[in-house]
Chain A
């Protein structure tokens, strides 16, 4: 079954801006789905329509088979959302914010408190439950919104750039948490600017640009499209002006670093031999950039 099915979604704002031209997208149950795209591409508008914050101009949306035009209430029960911008009252306490959210879904006080404790503990916020939201750090506020999005135990969790402004250590902790959620059966849709994040977490990725889906494939298929790879080599040698080589390019970055781009399928041994023949010794090597980032840049440019 599809957790989410979008057909011909179109949105024109009153200002005349056509944010979505025609979005068609299916997300299978249990998938970890990445929605990527530059700023203003339509990611947040799409999420807004799914969660009823934005009204659609045209198109159909089904959540676990429930048409939102026919029974939005039932569809909403299946969805948890973690928005991009902080949208809680900064004057309320952490515990109240999460418990109230459960209440809005009709969950009784006792059950709400149990769910609240479960997710605040999992997200490392239990000790802060009596703190007002304005006193939390940026990372804590993000985690508070995740706990709030989960408190009614939705089957589909939608996260709109959940790790924006979060430090590296905390981001990795959030990745582990989201992977665990996905393993336990929840479908997750993630929009992100960090392509490393999408590459690490998502099994399927769609790229949206200018209100249209321009790519929708499994991560593996997407990465196959990449026909070049770039490595950064730490080297020792007198002169890094390397003589040209077929299907390989060399760019010296400084006196001891060399950037090498090779076409897929070329042997690295050939490269090392070529460098060795010119008196260059390779100490270490690493991938230069995130692979997905290269595809992304190619597609949206």
Chain B
């Protein structure tokens, strides 16, 4: 990486981060409120009536899943909305006319998604402390899963942003793909509780590996092989990054 590329990256990353904290009422507050409600309703009200899962009380089991859910949603939403609004206001042209390399543009936007995903994740983790003292089995696993997941979903959000032509297009994938896969991704239950057939089906859902690996970092328990989760995240990171580069090189949605 040359010094100039580093300056370009820093400029985009700084701009993205400033945006997140400038509109914090839209970017940071809503997910924290939503997750607080989840903690209250599912954790305290309903959870207290349930027996624990794998030796942990229900609240402790769902807390990592809820934190991961907010990381996934916010990383994705941040890049898709920021990239689309940059396209919509045409200020993407500021970058396109400059010598900024495409991979730096991708990394710059994605860094915004990662910052937002991890910031919200951290805030939700702090909120969870009001409800339960979460154990920390391995900080490294927790941090690696959190970082890679936010990176992968920020990359996915960028692809959505590149293709989006109108505001409706930025909410289709989160509503119809990411939310169902997250809810069915083992946030609220262990897939070992499902019948065999549904366990098989669940294993095709990549989000399950991410939540499972993240939960392993806190509780030291997992339904899947943690290495599979890590491998899958690295695979998605490489593939999605390459797709982004290809789309920018082709000028899809940004050059006529």
Flag if A73 contacts B99 (CB, 8 Å): yes
Known: A87-B89, A88-B89. A52 touches B94 (CB 8 A): no
Known: A87-B94, A100-B94. A52 touches B255 (CB 8 A): yes
Pick the contact of B96: A52, A74, A91, A103 (CB < 8 A).
A52
Q: Is A77 an interface residue (CB 8 A)?
A: yes
Flag if A101 contacts B251 (CB, 8 Å): no
Question: Which of chain A's residues 94-125 have a Cβ closer than 8 Å to chain B?
Answer: 96-97, 100-101, 103-109
Q: Is A54 an interface residue (CB 8 A)?
A: yes
Q: Is A76 an interface residue (CB 8 A)?
A: yes
Chain B residues, Cβ within 8 Å of A53: 93, 96-97, 255-256
Flag if B90 contacts A100 (CB, 8 Å): no
Instruction: Give me 20 other A-B pairs in contact (C-beta within 8 A), A73-B99, A96-B15 excluded.
Output: A52-B255, A53-B96, A53-B255, A54-B255, A74-B99, A79-B97, A81-B97, A85-B90, A86-B90, A88-B89, A89-B85, A89-B89, A101-B98, A103-B10, A104-B11, A104-B94, A104-B95, A106-B2, A106-B8, A106-B99
Flag if B11 contacts A13 (CB, 8 Å): no
Q: Is A256 an interface residue (CB 8 A)?
A: no
A51 to B97, CA, bound (A): 5
Flag if A76 contacts B98 (CB, 8 Å): yes
Which partner residue on chain B sits nearest A105 by CB separation?
A: B98
Pick the contact of A54: B18, B99, B256 (CB < 8 A).
B256
- Chain B residues packing against A (C-beta within 8 Å): 2-5, 7-8, 10-12, 14-15, 18, 22, 85-86, 89-91, 93-101, 251, 255-256
Chain A residues, Cβ within 8 Å of B7: 103, 106-109
Flag if B251 contacts A55 (CB, 8 Å): yes
Chain A residues, Cβ within 8 Å of B2: 106
A211 to B29, CA, bound (A): 52
Flag if A103 contacts B11 (CB, 8 Å): yes
5 contacts between A and B (CB under 8 A): A52-B255, A72-B99, A87-B91, A97-B94, A106-B99
Which partner residue on chain B sits nearest A83 by CB separation?
A: B93
Interface size on A, residues (CB 8 A): 36
A77 to B168, CA, bound (A): 37
Flag if B5 contacts A106 (CB, 8 Å): yes
A85 to B11, CA, bound (A): 23
Flag if A88 contacts B255 (CB, 8 Å): no
CB proximity of A162 to chain B, nearest CB, Å: 16
CB proximity of A219 to chain B, nearest CB, Å: 29
Which partner residue on chain B sits nearest A75 by CB separation?
A: B99
A295 to B95, CA, bound (A): 39
Flag if B89 contacts A90 (CB, 8 Å): yes
Chain B residues, Cβ within 8 Å of A139: none
Known: A13-B256, A52-B255. A148 touches B94 (CB 8 A): yes
Q: Is A48 an interface residue (CB 8 A)?
A: yes
Chain B residues, Cβ within 8 Å of A105: 4, 8, 98-100
Chain A residues, Cβ within 8 Å of B255: 52-55
